[in-house]
Amino acid sequence: MMRVEFFLFIAALLFAIGCVGVLIRRNAIVILMCIELMLNAVNLTFVAFAHENQSMTGQVFVFFVMTVAAAEAAVGLAIVIALFRRRLTTDVEDASLMRW
Amino acid sequence: MPVQLLLGLIVVLVVFAVVRAYAPERTLLAGVVLGLGALALLAVDSRALLSLEFWVGLIGFAAILSALLVVIHPNPMVSILFLIVNLFCIALFYLILQAQFLAALQIIIYAGAIMVLFLFVVMLLNLKTEVGLHVAGGPQRWGALLLGAAFTALLFHAIRGRLDQAYVESGMFDSSFGAARGVGGLLFSKYLFAFEAASLLLIAAMIGAVVMAKRKVR
């Protein structure tokens, strides 16, 4: 069997890629996708540790993370649609009304 | 040796991608040559195909590559398709890590429901490919890359510390671990309150999404 650390390395890389994506992309939909990427990396870590400890609690947490991801995606995309209706753009630079 | 074979196949894939990006007219030639090379590699070491390390490494490579493409591709539609590839790779990891139920959920919920939502919104808004790659300018871009590199280094350092510990084989294989029965049992006993709270969260999100995306709010 593989060592758990291999999966942790993959998850760390995926999380960093998603993190950089959120910071450098300006398209709101791509930013939401990068957040999904980060949540998935965390899920992979949870499952890897659940496997290592032979405890299913980690898998239950993945279930809840998936629920939160679904809710977040639905609300986030609704906001993108509302933004697009008003401004005809999905660029977060143009949604600066509440920016300091 | 599965690791050498894996590295060879990764080099083949990367060379093909570079040729395709910078000399599109040579794509067919490069594909044929590199495909024959990959077949030769596999023929030399066909036993590696039976090893778990080889496949896990290949899936990991695919996951990292598709995640990178999600971030750097200018067309949001292609980004979504690569994110689906990434989710499938992670579902395969779940299977390897004895989380069968979660692997099924991953494909049904993520690839089946959430990504369809994304696809639907991109099609609804009819987004065009960005001209160039529209990324944050100047300090934010370099700051983000620096931060990502530093964060990766930090995490890798933390995980490497664990590698010094001796590896303990985790008991005998229990086929019921990670099945729907066990996860569901925990969900409906110990985490019942969190489960109900999650249902409340989903209803709130649904109402919020409908109100937000409605054409006119009165």
What residue ranges do the domains of chain B occupy?
Answer: 1-50, 52-128, 179-218
CA distance A57 to A5: 19
Average pLDDT over residues B2-15: 80
A81 min Cα distance to partner chain B (Å)? 6
Residue B214's pLDDT band (boundaries 50, 70, 90)? confident
Q: Is the pLDDT of residue B1 over 70?
A: no
ipTM (interface pTM): 0.92
Architecture of the domain delimited by B52-128: Up-down Bundle (1.20)
Average pLDDT over residues B56-64: 91
CA distance A2 to A48: 11
Q: Is B163 on the interface with A (CB under 8 A)?
A: yes
Query: Does the beta-carbon distance from A73 to B118 stay under 8 Å?
Result: yes
Of B83, B122, B191, the CB nearest to A36: B83
A98 min Cα distance to partner chain B (Å)? 17
Q: Is the pLDDT of residue A100 over 60?
A: no
* CATH number belonging to the domain at A4-87, selected among 1.10.3720.10, 3.40.50.300, 1.10.287.3510, 1.20.1250.20: 1.10.287.3510
**A51: closest chain B residue by CA:** B97
Query: Does the beta-carbon distance from A9 to B156 stay under 8 Å?
Result: yes
Query: Does the beta-carbon distance from A63 to B183 stay under 8 Å?
Result: yes
From chain B, pick out residues whose CB is under 8 angstroms from the CB of A73: 114, 117-118
Listed as own residue / partner, the contacts of B127-134 with beta carbons closer than 8 Å and 24 or more positions apart are: B127/A27, B127/A29, B127/A90, B127/B76, B127/B77, B129/B74, B129/B75, B130/A27, B130/B74, B130/B75, B132/B74, B133/B72, B133/B74, B134/A25, B134/A26, B134/A27, B134/A91, B134/B74
Of A12, A71, A77, the CB nearest to B202: A71
- Work out the percent of chain B whose per-residue pLDDT is above 70: 91
A30-39, B14-23, B142-151 — which is least confidently predicted?
A: B14-23
Q: Is B114 on the interface with A (CB under 8 A)?
A: yes
Rg (CA), chain B: 22
Burial class for A64, CB neighbours closer than 10 Å (0-12, 13-18, 19+): middle
Backbone angles phi, psi at B104, to 5 degrees: -65, -45
pTM, two decimal places:
0.87
Of B94, B147, B205, the CB nearest to A47: B94
From chain A, pick out residues whose CB is under 8 angstroms from the CB of B177: 54, 56
pLDDT confidence of residue A20: 92
Query: Does the beta-carbon distance from B97 to A70 stay under 8 Å?
Result: no
Average pLDDT over chain B, rounded to an integer: 84
From chain B, pick out residues whose CB is under 8 angstroms from the CB of A85: 215
From chain B, pick out residues whose CB is under 8 angstroms from the CB of A77: 117-118, 121, 209, 213
From chain A, pick out residues whose CB is under 8 angstroms from the CB of B69: none
Query: Over the stretch A53-95, which tens digit does the pLDDT of each residue have?
Result: 888 899 999 999 999 999 999 999 999 998 888 878 888 877 7
CA distance B48 to B6: 9
